[in-house]
Structure 1
Amino acid sequence: MPRLAASHPPFFNDTAVEVPVLDKFAGFTETAEVGWGSPNVGWRVAPALNIIVNGIRRLATIDTGSTGALMDKSFLPSFNPEEAEEGHVFYSSSKILEEGHWVPDVEIEYFGPKGVRIMSRTPVLAVERAVRCPQYNQTLHGHRCPRNATLGVVKRAVQQPYFGIGFGRDRDTSSQATPDRNPMINIVSINNVTIDRTKYHPGYIITDRSIIVGLTSNNTQGFVTMDLEKGPNWEKDKRAWAGPKVSVALNNETYVMGFQGSLLVDTGVTQMYLKAGRQFQPGDEVKFAIPDEKSPIATYTITNGNRRNVMSPYKVLNSTSLTPYVNTGRNFLTKFDVFFNPVEGQYGLRFKGSGQENFVKFYPAV
């Protein structure tokens, strides 16, 4: 069932408020808000954070559609490939395979325009080669694209570090996308002070202006949450939750019973990836109910090829797969803030529209 938190903007060093006994965030007060390091103009570009690694300042793209921090191996000159775990990150949308080795326990500092600093400690993939590999299969190929399947080398990792902070990606071609590699749920200090585990609740909130780490009763107000299912690696790591759910209906059709699939709100892309049982043609209308039509947190509608609302993606790429799947693209964030609670397994939405929009509805009532 959806659950409602109160409505209040987030601040750094939240003070405790009176909350129900069952409030999962009662007593947690340590939090920090770090502003995006690049202008966020209507979510037309992916967000980025200013980082410091090995004493050098850089800008890192923040992607909720993948898990794992990566950067070119030249940014991590002290590691020995022979002593590090071989690894990869595969991006299913672009078919780019980043090949390298996981450097353990890398400390990354993130800083915002107001002087707030946070630090994460996770393995980082030192990228040795990035290639387009459309036929990549981890079971068959391991961590490297076969030479005869490579469609060319790409230079993205050299240009800018790429930090995946998503969840529910640890399956199929991304089995290394595990919670221990997610920078934003592995924060170790705020403003150079080690976090107090009794006062710091892991998790993050994404807004137009910033990312907020450390969930509190104050900064989660206004969100309605849904419970997540256990992911394939949950027994190994109790933070390994599956992605949230969504129901899909095309045109004037009703939501099909059981036609519920995985939802991914992806800051890494402008387009939508849709699997809804048949081709989604230009002019078609598609409705989404999150997580389902019986007890939705939110519903919204888009029309393919018609930017009649700001939540419509740049374009829709779809297939006739009978396994429903929706990657919304980042335009979803024009109307919703999102949060992820890795401890109890919750995903939350907070509406930030005017309430006059006819293409989106938010359901804050229990």
Structure 2
Amino acid sequence: MSKLAVSHPPFFNDSTVDIPTPDKFAGFTETAEVGWGSPNVSWRVAPALNIIVNGIHRRATIDTGSTGALMDKSFLPTFDPEEVEEGHVFYSSSKILEEGYWVPDVEIEYFGPRGVRIMSKTPVLAVERAVSCPQFNQTLHGHRCPKNATKGVVKRAVQQPYFGIGFGRDRDTSSQATPDRNPMINIVSINNVTIDRTKYHPGYIITHRSIIVGLTSNNTEGFVTMDLEKGPNWEKGQRAWAGPKVSVALNNETYAKGSQCSLLVDTGVTQMYLKAGREFQPDDEIKFAIPDEESPVATYTITNGGRRNAMSPTKVLNSTSLTPYVNTGRSFLTKFDVFFNPIEGQYGLRFKGSGEEDFVKFYPV
């Protein structure tokens, strides 16, 4: 984007990160900022938004590690299970399977402390029960945990609405995690006025104060963007992008060539999940280069179990992912704002540190 133009680092690779180009957001002016239910400077808790659904005020946890809004079926208008789609949301970190039905075209209103209101319209999963189902496989099991695989009912259903706004989550166990079910990229009105598709660019920005919907030249100032690859279900919906990439090195080892991991900045958890080459060990120093070490947008370092810094998760766990994978947890957001552009397929980072930190570096384009 032209407004971000500064000198390139010497290892800059034009094929990975956007170079200055005509502004993709020129002409788009409709946007709205909705403050979190409680400000989140340290990111010790998951962010939440105040909502109105079915005429009742509630608070919804906002999760970038999943896709799809879900809530107890009693929170939604009465529906006939025979007339709606059976469905599920599976959380790979906790192995919790939420079982229910997708109620179509549910309008959810979100409001902040300054009176700004936005509305989304998507299917919402009306949850009947939540179970621990470690071996869940949608191909084998459909949308329900088989009785012999259930580790017990965790709760009848979600006590607080839980809204997944992430992307790149449409894997085998979550093939229903499609863009049409992502509330924050399916906004239909701002302050009770229907959005103008010629002036509203879908997408969102996450900061410690708020979520901003509608991407503009002004609110994307300071971000560096990375182009995303098409996800496995691209043909089913052309906003189905894969997640961004990251390279990982342990201790003084070099970054392994060709071993980029899928990167997930997850507001839903405090811990990190890591699958990168060998398993990490206690007190390993872990280095990250986003998207890779040859043309980084950002680099940072944490020490598992040792000296902590602001971007350190509460703990690091070896991921059970079958492919290289890093879930940073939400501590990543102590030093970066992020944005998602679902139309052109971009992920953006904006550094909000002082520049004096010795554990993180940002390379603006």
Shorter-chain TM-score category? over 0.9
SS in structure 2 at match of 1:154:
strand
Aligned to 1:212: 212
Aligned to 2:289: 289
Amino acid in the other structure paired with 2:54: N
Q: Structure 2 unaligned segments of length 5 or more: list them.
A: 6-19
1:72 partnered with 2:89? no
Task: Measure, in 1, the Cα distance between the counterparts of 2:322 and 2:105.
Answer: 41
Name the TM-score, length of structure 1 as normaliser.
Answer: 0.93
1:81-96 mapped onto 2 (5 Å cutoff) = 81-96=81-96
What is the CA deviation profile of residues 177-230 of structure 1, one whole-angstrom value per residue up to 9, with x for unaligned ones? 000000000000000000000000000000000000000000000000000000
1:101 partnered with 2:101? yes
Aligned to 1:332: 332
Task: Measure, in 2, the Cα distance between the counterparts of 1:44 and 1:327.
Answer: 16
The answer to whether the Cα contact below 8 Å between 1:34 and 1:211 also exists between their aligned partners in 2 is yes
Task: Measure, in 2, the Cα distance between the counterparts of 1:299 and 1:4.
Answer: 23
Amino acid in the other structure paired with 2:338: V
What is the CA deviation profile of residues 147-182 of structure 1, one whole-angstrom value per residue up to 9, with x for unaligned ones? 111111123843100000000001110000000000
SS in structure 1 at match of 2:331:
helix
What is the CA deviation profile of residues 57-95 of structure 1, one whole-angstrom value per residue up to 9, with x for unaligned ones? 000000000000000000013211110100000000000
Count of matched residue positions in the alignment of Structure 1 and Structure 2: 351
1:61 partnered with 2:61? yes
SS in structure 2 at match of 1:235:
helix
What is the CA deviation profile of residues 110-159 of structure 1, one whole-angstrom value per residue up to 9, with x for unaligned ones? 00000000000000000011100001111110000011111111238431
Report the more deviating stretch, 153-162 or 299-308: 153-162
1:11-22 mapped onto 2 (5 Å cutoff) = 22=22
The answer to whether the Cα contact below 8 Å between 1:70 and 1:163 also exists between their aligned partners in 2 is yes
Aligned to 2:253: 253
Aligned to 2:160: 160
Aligned to 1:43: 43
Aligned to 2:273: 273
Task: Measure, in 2, the Cα distance between the counterparts of 1:190 and 1:282.
Answer: 48
Task: Measure, in 2, the Cα distance between the counterparts of 1:156 and 1:119.
Answer: 28
1:169-248 mapped onto 2 (5 Å cutoff) = 169-248=169-248
Report the more deviating stretch, 297-306 or 277-286: 277-286
What is the CA deviation profile of residues 320-346 of structure 1, one whole-angstrom value per residue up to 9, with x for unaligned ones? 878321000000000000000000000
Name the TM-score, length of structure 2 as normaliser.
Answer: 0.93
Task: Measure, in 2, the Cα distance between the counterparts of 1:29 and 1:133.
Answer: 45
The answer to whether the Cα contact below 8 Å between 2:2 and 2:22 also exists between their aligned partners in 1 is no
Q: Report deviation, 1:279.
A: 2.0
1:310 partnered with 2:319? no
SS in structure 1 at match of 2:101:
strand
Aligned to 2:134: 134
Task: Measure, in 1, the Cα distance between the counterparts of 2:176 and 2:260.
Answer: 26
The answer to whether the Cα contact below 8 Å between 2:41 and 2:334 also exists between their aligned partners in 1 is no
Q: Report deviation, 1:355.
A: 0.2
Q: Report deviation, 1:39.
A: 3.9
Aligned to 2:8: none
In the superposition, relative to structure 1, how do residues 277 and 258 fare at CA in structure 2: closer, same or farther (>3 Å)?
Answer: same
Task: Measure, in 2, the Cα distance between the counterparts of 1:194 and 1:73.
Answer: 28
SS in structure 1 at match of 2:180:
helix
SS in structure 2 at match of 1:159:
coil
Task: Measure, in 2, the Cα distance between the counterparts of 1:355 and 1:132.
Answer: 43
Q: Report deviation, 1:311.
A: 0.2
Amino acid in the other structure paired with 2:191: N
Task: Measure, in 1, the Cα distance between the counterparts of 2:282 and 2:156.
Answer: 32
The answer to whether the Cα contact below 8 Å between 1:185 and 1:203 also exists between their aligned partners in 2 is yes
The answer to whether the Cα contact below 8 Å between 1:277 and 1:323 also exists between their aligned partners in 2 is no
Q: Report deviation, 1:107.
A: 0.1
Amino acid in the other structure paired with 2:248: V
Amino acid in the other structure paired with 1:240: A
SS in structure 2 at match of 1:23:
coil
Task: Measure, in 2, the Cα distance between the counterparts of 1:352 and 1:201.
Answer: 24
SS in structure 1 at match of 2:313:
coil
